[in-house]
Amino acid sequence: MKQPVRVAITGGAGQISYSLLFRIASGEMLGADQPIILHLLEMPVALEALKGVAMEIDDCAYPLLHDIVMSDDLKVTFTDVEYALLVGATPRGPGMERNDLLRINGDIFTKQGKALNDYAKRNVKVLVVGNPANTNAYIAMKSAPDLDAKNFTAMTRLDHNRALSQLAAKTGSRVTDIKKMVVWGNHSATQYPDISHTTVAGKAAKELVDQEWIVNDFIPTVQQRGAAIIKARGKSSAASAGYAALEHVRDWAMGTGDNWVSMAIPSDGSYGIPEGLIYSFPVTTKDGEYSIVQGLEIDEFSRARMDATQKELEQERDAVADLLA
């Protein structure tokens, strides 16, 4: 049997965690032969609720789960962890501007980045889910100078999955028939779900749908899906976000084969995206490393949308620059 790995999840008593933790503990993320120790972080006010979640996890008697560590202390949470899923973040309150949100969460992610730098395993893989996810990941990465920047990522997998499911419904196909989907940029309404390179059962997706549907239906539906779920459900998406987080880490750790997935990662300058910006790219993964899919032709339509989401990320980065000074 393998040695247990320590997996940290912040915001452990929140909605997303309520679906995510049970699946991680069952082995769905790191495999059925990988024992796990969960490290759950919460704010002091939510520690009692976190205890309740832990009681439920205990009651599942998961064979792979060796222990649950609960704390409001970053050192306890991040010591020796090999995976860190940063889910907890302050939600936007009434009257709060986007910049206020960036700065409040900037403070949280500066501290978490520093603590990961000081206490986590050197190969820790970090996924930021809490919004604004790309910029929170950027802040954590910059606050952790001793760790490899490549280990800081943010989640656009839910956007990717939403795009797959919309295209499958439109073309009457199965999601498994769809290959080479791409989501570029920020996990926000400026993201660019791109089917220029996508195939459906081997045929170019762009030959199966018209441009009018792409522009006026597909792109806005994927961009606005979170808001549509809040409207219908009265609460934000949680189980789908939790599942996407699990898939992001699972695929990063276990490999994608030649299947493309979207991950927001520090740019290496590919496709003209400024180096270091946490931008969503199409990637494949192997042996715990991701590589950006190279050589895609970018037409004018795509470039304009890739530029718009890049610009938003640069503005977010500039708005928090003084926190990192």
Cβ–Cβ under 8 Å, residues 136 and 153: no
**Total of residues contacting ligand NDP (CB under 6 A):** 27
Segment lying near ligand NDP (by CB under 6 A), choices 85-93, 204-212, 256-264, 285-293: 85-93
From residue 135 to residue 174, the character string flagging contacts with ligand NDP as x (rule: CB under 6 A) and all else as - is -----------------------x----------------
> Does residue 15 touch ligand NDP according to CB under 6 A?
yes
Q: Which amino acid is at 154?
A: A
The reply to whether 108 sits near ligand NDP by the rule CB under 6 A is: yes
Q: Which residues contact 101 (CB under 8 A, 6 or more apart)?
A: 90, 92, 131, 132
**List 5, 43, 69, 209, residue binding ligand NDP (CB under 6 A):** 43
Radius of gyration of the chain (CA): 19
Q: What is the DSSP letter of 126?
A: E
For position 185 contacting ligand NDP by CB under 6 A, the verdict is no
- Residue of 39, 160, 187, 197 marked active site: 187
Query: Does 15 carry a binding-site annotation?
Result: yes
Residue 92 is assigned to a ligand binding site:
yes
Task: Specify whether 187 is catalytic.
Answer: yes
CA atoms within 13 A on the CB side of 311: 8
Residue of 143, 190, 198, 237 interacting with ligand NDP (CB under 6 A): 237
For residue 191, how many other CB atoms are within 10 A of its CB?
Answer: 26
Report the SS3 class of residue 81.
coil
- Interaction with ligand NDP in 253-312: which residues (CB under 6 A)? none
Q: Does 91 bind ligand NDP (CB under 6 A)?
A: yes
Least distance between ligand NDP and beta carbon 265 (Å): 16
Instruction: Quote the Cα angle for 130-132-136, to 5°.
Output: 75
Closest residue to ligand NDP in the complex (CB)? 14
Please indicate if the annotation marks 242 as binding a ligand: no
Phi-psi region of 295 (alpha: psi -120 to 50; beta: other; left: phi over 0): left
The reply on whether position 7 binds ligand NDP by CB under 6 A is no
Say if CB 323 and CB 107 are below 8 A apart: yes
Which residue carries 């049970």 as its tokens? Answer: 22
Peptide bond into 132 cis (omega under 30): yes
- Cα torsion 265, 268, 274, 276: sign: positive
Applying CB under 6 A, the residues found at the interface with ligand NDP are: 10-11, 13-17, 41-43, 46, 87-91, 108, 129-131, 133, 158, 226, 236-238, 241
* Residues annotated in a binding site for NAD(+): 11-17, 105, 112, 129-131
